Amino acid sequence: MTSFDINQLDTDLRGIDLRTFVKIPAILELIEEHVNELVVNTLPLEIRNREYSEASSWDVRIVRRSPGMYAVQDQWGQYTKGLVRGREGLPSSRTDRFKNSHRFPLAEAIDIAYKVAAKTTLNGMSASDYILWCEAVDLTEAEAPEGLHLSIRDKYNELKAASQKA
């Protein structure tokens, strides 16, 4: 069994919404048999593939914890169905109560992961804010004459204001 990031596939499946798999039992069964981990990230591939990108910080992982049961986690903890984050203790200290609230069948885990990903913020930035930030970096670098550094924050604020008017 291997880790699997659907967004890294070099095929037409790249960037596919994992919720599509829930509707196809045969694919869901293949995933359950052969995959230990799936990654959900709401950022577009062109942002995720940037050299300077911190896009993996928005990763939400669906990780097999036992046959047919998966945890939904990010770098800070695991989530319940109610999207409450908790810390996973050492194996010897995980209670049945914890397992019942933090383990899900694959289809449910995929649904929860997308809900978590949609709410994820880092340093006060949502995924859409980060996309604007990356655009501001690109525009600032393109517009700045040699030796003059425009403020990325000013460009970001300009783009954010324009997107809120639209």
Last residue of a domain, one of 84, 102, 120: 120
Torsion on CA atoms 42, 46, 52, 57, rounded to nearest 10: 10
Give yes or no: residues 136 and 152 share one domain: yes
What digits encode the pLDDT tens for the residues 44-75?
Answer: 888 877 776 788 888 899 999 988 999 999 98
Q: For the chain, how many structural domains are there in total? A: 2
Give yes or no: residues 14 and 79 share one domain: yes
Q: What is the DSSP letter of 91?
A: G
What digits encode the pLDDT tens for the residues 125-161?
Answer: 888 898 888 888 888 777 766 655 667 778 888 888 8
Read off the pLDDT band of 165 (50, 70, 90): confident
% of the chain with per-residue pLDDT over 70: 84
What digits encode the pLDDT tens for the residues 17-31?
Answer: 787 777 788 888 888
Beta-bridge mates of residue 77:
74
**CB 40 within 8 Å of CB 114:** yes
State which residues form the domain around 155. Answer: 122-166
Nearest by Cα to 134 from 17, 18, 47: 47
Give yes or no: residues 78 and 112 share one domain: yes
Looking at per-residue confidence, does 79 or 46 come out higher?
Answer: 79
Give yes or no: residues 161 and 143 share one domain: yes
Last residue of a domain, one of 101, 120, 139: 120
Give yes or no: residues 106 and 135 share one domain: no
**151 three-state secondary structure:** coil
